[in-house]
Amino acid sequence: MIWSKMKQQLENFLAPALAGRVGYLSTSYRYTPDKNGQCCIAVDNKKIFNMKDVTTGMKWYQSEQDIKNDSAVVIPLSEAEIEHIRMETGGKVPEERLAVIARDRKLLAYAKETMAAQVSLSKADFYKTANVFLTQPIEASLASTDILLNCLALVDRRVGKKRIMDMEKSVKMKHPIVQYFYRLRRSAI
């Protein structure tokens, strides 16, 4: 699909409160060696989600260790996860360490997912992901581990107020850019 048609379809799916505030930009440069341009999502004419650009003011992690050391990352633990560690260790680990072990394991899995999601962001990936977004149900985009699909779904008009409110806990486990678009959508309700 050509960019102008894709852009029009993406903008038609924007929530009414965000129409005019959120925009999609794509540029190509004819004479650059790799012919890559840039692709971004802008909010209030400010480039917020610029594919692979660290100058956007959004936090991009450079390593899994950065994610593990980030105090803003909130990892909720359930009693079942702690019980799983207790059974796995055979009761040999002190009780206060069980939650630490469970959190570290969950944090490592989160870090690996986040790094994998960040690696595959380029202009071509944006086009491919936007096509997937336009052809699949909104529930699949919200449940996806792809951060771009999550961002596109959060500003979509098919996601209502009740669903946005119910997502508060699950969004805390997402990439900071997904959390940004969640806060943007929530403020527009």
Q: Are residues 94 and 175 in the same domain?
A: no
Same domain for 130 and 44: yes
144 & 183 share domain: yes
Please state the rounded mean pLDDT for residues 143-150. Answer: 88
Residue-wise over 122-160: b if at least 16 C-beta within 10 A, else e?
ebebbbebbebbbeeebeebbebebbbbbbbbbbbeebe
Tokens representing residue 49 in the block: 């989600």
Confidence at residue 106, expressed as pLDDT on a 0 to 100 scale: 85
Higher-pLDDT residue of 22 and 72 is: 22
Size (the chain), residues: 189
Residue 115 has what pLDDT? 67
| Residues linked to residue 24 through DSSP beta bridges, in sequence order | 41
Q: Do 102 and 82 touch, CB atoms closer than 8 A?
A: yes
Domain presence at residue 7: yes
Number of domains in the chain: 2
75 within domain boundaries: yes
User: Is the confidence at residue 22, as pLDDT, over 90?
Assistant: yes
Q: What is the pLDDT of residues 64-85, one digit of tens each?
A: 777 777 777 777 888 898 888 8
pLDDT in tens, 26-67: 877 666 555 556 778 899 988 888 765 444 445 566 667 777
pLDDT at 120: 52
Q: What residue numbers bound the domain in which 128 lies?
A: 3-52+121-187
Say yes or no: 18 and 39 in one domain.
Answer: yes
Mean pLDDT in residue range 85-112: 85
Q: State residue 176's pLDDT score.
A: 84
Q: Are residues 84 and 128 in the same domain?
A: no
